[in-house]
Amino acid sequence: MTQLALVIDLNVCVGCHACVTSCKEWNTSGWAGPLTDQNPYDADPSGCFFNRVQTYEIGEFPLTETVHFPKSCLHCEDPPCVPVCPTGASYKREEDGIVLVDYDKCIGCKYCSWACPYGARELDEKQKVMKKCTLCVDRLYDETLPESERKPACVLACPTSARLYGDVHDPESDVSVKIREEGGYQLMPEWGTHPANHYLPRRKTRIHIHKDELVRSDNPLEKEKISKLPSSEPTLDDITSW
């Protein structure tokens, strides 16, 4: 069975919020809209969003790092929001695994938001219905769009390609390969919801300069009559003093 999902690479997400704004732009006037803003311009803006980016500072000063963590509905394979819905408004599609809300059936009781351990459901205060990421299902099957654009709006907008989209049940798909090769993981697997969306962990990279990397065909050291580099590995002081 197909399970469409997002894979988010935390190593290259820069927290630019392009995914947030593109999601809002596409869905506000589209099949899933409107996404109402109650207080968009004041010091404390509020409104309905399908996608948000949370930013954290980790580590101890002065050795701290900033982590940007995009989060939306994870389209769980066993979504707890579906069985608690008293009207059947929340449902999971068999053909592609996307979890959706039927606004005509939703009564805004918030049961789904209480059941969701990820905080992915929001009440549209104007329409009085619960809303969530649809994975841009209206784009995915729109044959009037070029095939290259039949992807979620957030994926198309990401400037660093931090967001990938595909079938996680297909072992040969790009997303499945990324999950296998780069240690992709599910968010809070202990809840037993089996989220379809995955995250690729941040990877520590260290720049290590080898001595032979400092030798060039036009090596300026040769002009200074220095025949070879120091026997020990060069330090920053050594390099700046040459």
pLDDT in tens, 123-142: 988 889 999 999 999 999 99
pLDDT in tens, 168-202: 999 999 999 999 999 999 999 999 999 999 999 98
pLDDT bin (cut points 50, 70, 90) of residue 69 is very high
Q: Are residues 131 and 229 in the same domain?
A: no
Q: Are residues 143 and 230 in the same domain?
A: no
Domain-located, residue 124: yes
Q: Is the pLDDT of residue 224 over 90?
A: no
* CATH number for position 165: 3.30.70.20
Q: Are residues 41 and 142 in the same domain?
A: yes
Domain-located, residue 205: no
152: tokens are 């979620």
Q: Give the position of tokens 């939306």.
A: 72
Q: Are residues 22 and 102 in the same domain?
A: yes
Domain count for the chain: 2
193 with 79: CB under 8 angstroms? yes
pLDDT at position 165 is 96
58 with 67: CB under 8 angstroms? yes
The rounded distance, in Å, linking the Cα atoms of 131 and 33 is 9
| Least confident range of 60-64, 155-159, 210-214 | 210-214
| Least confident range of 28-42, 90-104, 146-160, 190-204 | 28-42
Q: Are residues 185 and 220 in the same domain?
A: no
Q: Are residues 109 and 170 in the same domain?
A: yes
pLDDT bin (cut points 50, 70, 90) of residue 242 is very low
Domain-located, residue 62: yes
Q: Across-strand partners of 5?
A: 166
Task: Label the pairing between strands 99-101 and 129-131.
Answer: unpaired
Q: Are residues 19 and 58 in the same domain?
A: yes
The rounded distance, in Å, linking the Cα atoms of 219 and 155 is 45
Q: Are residues 232 and 194 in the same domain?
A: no
Count CB atoms within 10 A of the CB of residue 97: 21
- Determine the residue type at 60: E
pLDDT at position 94 is 95
Closest CA to 114 of 90, 143, 144: 90
Q: Are residues 215 and 185 in the same domain?
A: no
Query: In this prediction, what percent of the chain has a pLDDT beyond 90?
Result: 67
pLDDT bin (cut points 50, 70, 90) of residue 64 is confident
Q: Is the pLDDT of residue 18 over 80?
A: yes
Domain-located, residue 99: yes
What rounded mean pLDDT belongs to the chain?
A: 86
Q: Is the pLDDT of residue 225 over 90?
A: no
pLDDT greater at residue 128 or residue 210: 128
Domain-located, residue 186: yes
- 83 membership: H or E segment, kind and range: helix 81-84
CA atoms within 13 A on the CB side of 242: 19
The rounded distance, in Å, linking the Cα atoms of 146 and 141 is 11
Domain-located, residue 206: no
Q: Are residues 142 and 219 in the same domain?
A: no
Q: Are residues 172 and 222 in the same domain?
A: no
Closest CA to 155 of 31, 3, 9, 29: 9
Q: Are residues 182 and 225 in the same domain?
A: no
pLDDT at position 207 is 52
The whole domain housing 231 covers: 211-241
60 with 70: CB under 8 angstroms? no
pLDDT at position 202 is 87
30 with 49: CB under 8 angstroms? no
Number of H helices, E strands in the chain: 8, 11
